[in-house]
Amino acid sequence: MTEPKGMMSRITNGAAAVAGAAIIALVVIQIIIVILRYIFSYGIPWGLDLLVYLFLIGSLLPLPLVVWENHNVRVDIFYQGYRPEKKTALDRFGLAFLLFPSTGYAAYTTWHPMLNSWRLLEASPTLDGLPGYFVLKTILFLSLAGISLVSLVLALRKRPWAY
């Protein structure tokens, strides 16, 4: 049986790798779109949709990894001077009673719109946009559910992160 920590790390690292590839593709495609538009006067109607898709993939997929690896930005004036026991108690409280319920509720509220979008196979709201708008709603749901799951797993650990 796979250890939950190892499985969680593989999932979050895989999502981060996909996100990294999406950001690289975003930059390359943006340059191509700019060249086509401003040098060759050729516009791509679905180009903006593609950039939005890639941006959301690149920014939402790594969020569970950010929480899992504790790579988030902190403004901690007091926290840095606390003993590890106090840091553990604060982190567990924040994960279990702030992050888990808020992201869990956000995932819950995106569940039905995501399912409805899949039922309709919702396309882009822009004229001549890309199909597959339902994929964006799915990525949003998976990111929120992933953060919620990661926060719960970390809150249940003896020490959420190494100090």
Q: What is the pLDDT of residues 21-65, one digit of tens each?
A: 999 999 999 999 999 999 999 988 899 899 999 999 999 988 988
pLDDT of residue 1: 46
Query: What pTM does this model have?
Result: 0.83
* Percentage of the chain exceeding pLDDT 70: 96
Give the pLDDT band of residue 4 (cuts 50, 70, 90).
Answer: low
How high does pLDDT run on average in the chain? 89
Half-sphere exposure of 117 (CA within 13 A, CB side): 20
- Comparing 34-38, 58-62, 69-73, 113-117, the range with the smallest average pLDDT is 69-73
Cα(68)–Cα(5) distance, integer angstroms = 10
The closest alpha carbon to 54, from 31, 25, 82, 79, belongs to 25
Q: What is the pLDDT of residues 96-111, one digit of tens each?
A: 999 999 999 999 999 9
Buried b (16+ CB within 10 A) or exposed e, 24-43: ebbeeeeeebeeeeeeeeee
Q: What is the pLDDT of residues 140-161, one digit of tens each?
A: 999 999 999 999 999 999 888 8
pLDDT of residue 5: 64
DSSP state of 158: S
Please check the confidence at residue 2 and state whether its pLDDT lies above 60. no
Q: Are 140 and 132 in contact (CB under 8 A)?
A: no
Q: How many other CB atoms are there within 10 angstroms of residue 57's CB atom? A: 22
Q: What is the mean pLDDT of residues 87-103?
A: 94
Q: Are 15 and 54 in contact (CB under 8 A)?
A: no
